A and B are shown apart, each in its own frame.
Chain A
């Protein structure tokens, strides 16, 4: 799961120093690491997933799996390959402004998109019989498990912790540029890796959909 951020060195680039505190002339906006206003929306979405699994009807499961999966894939690709490079060319204050507005939303959006996709997708597979080992495209299904598993380990072990750590650092009165730079490097490399894996996901899912 890619998280948008800024390129390595963004906050230690021109105009920044390695001394404590943000670069001169840059104001850090106030923000919530976890936007509380978004929590009710997340709760509604998760409730919808539980309801869909409980009723086990094709359309709600398909809807949630497609919406969640499309969101996950598109956000990963967009942030990893479109917004990330653009951010690298922005002035430092603009990068900080965008990062402090975008990344808190990612804290809510990405885990929600992932859990919706996986939960609805598994139940959909059970409903349609595509997760059973006698399914004629079983190898493709197992390949999707592997791709998702690798992405999950990268996202949970690297991206999500770094996301929270960057936001926590930016909340400090004097965030340290070198810390942010180090964490941002994680974003760039792992976002690229998960973005590439999302292409594999698209190949697998379109193959499963067409038979």
Chain B
């Protein structure tokens, strides 16, 4: 079993990747709802940018914390995460297409696009992490 397997001792050494990931996703979802709820009016972007920035920081923090875990099953993580990333990039691309199709542009499009990038990276990280934490070496 890996150092971070199912044992409670191993669990204690793992960073709270799932919790941080869900918080990150909640932030970009909130930003999306904020922007969507004001259509087609002009809406101040500052709150959405702040939410996106906080979400991106959580993503970066998650990856950093994960990179410092000794003995993490990176092979398994990458095996799962790369396919998940392909799937979620496809989903993000479809959502982006709808935005562009409806003439979303400028600042809102940038914020929404970057939110989708965070989404398309963070969900595969969560999936890869959940699988890899129980991997046996």
Please list the residues of chain A having a beta carbon within 8 angstroms of any beta carbon in chain B: 34, 46, 49-50, 53-54, 56, 111, 115, 118-119, 122-123, 126, 131-133, 138, 142, 145-146, 149, 152-154, 156-158, 160-162, 164-165, 168-169, 172, 176, 178-179, 182-183
The interface residues of chain B, by DSSP majority, are classed as: helix
Tell me if B85 is interfacial: C-beta within 8 Å of chain A: no
Report whether B98 and A142 are in contact in the complex, using a CB–CB cutoff of 8 Å: no
Chain B 103-127 interface mask (CB, 8 Å, partner A; 1/0): 0000000000000000000010011
B64: chain A residues at CB < 8 Å are none
Compute how far the CA of A157 lies from the CA of B21 in the bound complex, rounded to whole angstroms: 7
Q: Which residues of B contact A133 (CB under 8 A)?
A: 37-41
A168: which B residues are within 8 A, CB to CB? 80, 131, 134
In the complex, what distance in Å separates the CA atom of A145 from the CA atom of B39?
13
Q: How many A-B residue contacts, CB cutoff 8 Å?
A: 97
* Inter-chain contact A164/B94, CB cutoff 8 Å: no
Q: Is the interface of A mostly helix, strand, loop or mixed?
A: helix
Which B residues between 18 and 74 are near A, CB-CB below 8 angstroms? 18, 21-22, 25-26, 29-30, 32-33, 36-41
Closest to B30 in A: A149
The answer on a CB contact under 8 Å between A179 and B39 is no
Question: Which residues of chain A come closer than 8 Å to B25, judged between CB atoms?
Answer: 152-153, 156-157
Known: A126-B102, A161-B126, A168-B80. A176 touches B6 (CB 8 A): yes
Contact B101–A53 (Cβ < 8 Å): yes
Kindly state whether residue B75 has any CB partner on chain A within 8 Å. no
Question: Beyond A123-B101, A123-B102, is A179–B29 a contact (Cβ under 8 Å)?
Answer: no
Task: Give CA–CA (A157, B127) in the complex, Å.
Answer: 8
Q: Closest 8 interchain pairs by CB?
A: A161-B130, A157-B22, A149-B29, A161-B127, A165-B130, A145-B33, A165-B131, A142-B37
Q: Do B33 and A146 touch across chains, with their CB atoms under 8 A apart?
A: yes
**A residues in contact with B87, CB < 8 Å:** 111
A162, B130: Cβ atoms closer than 8 Å = yes
B129 contacts which chain A residues (CB < 8 A)? 161
Find out whether the CB atom of A131 lies under 8 angstroms from the CB atom of B39: yes
B3 at the interface (CB under 8 A from A): no
How long is the Cα–Cα vector from A54 to B127 in the complex, in angstroms? 32
What residues of B have a CB within 8 angstroms of the CB of A123 in the complex? 98, 101-102
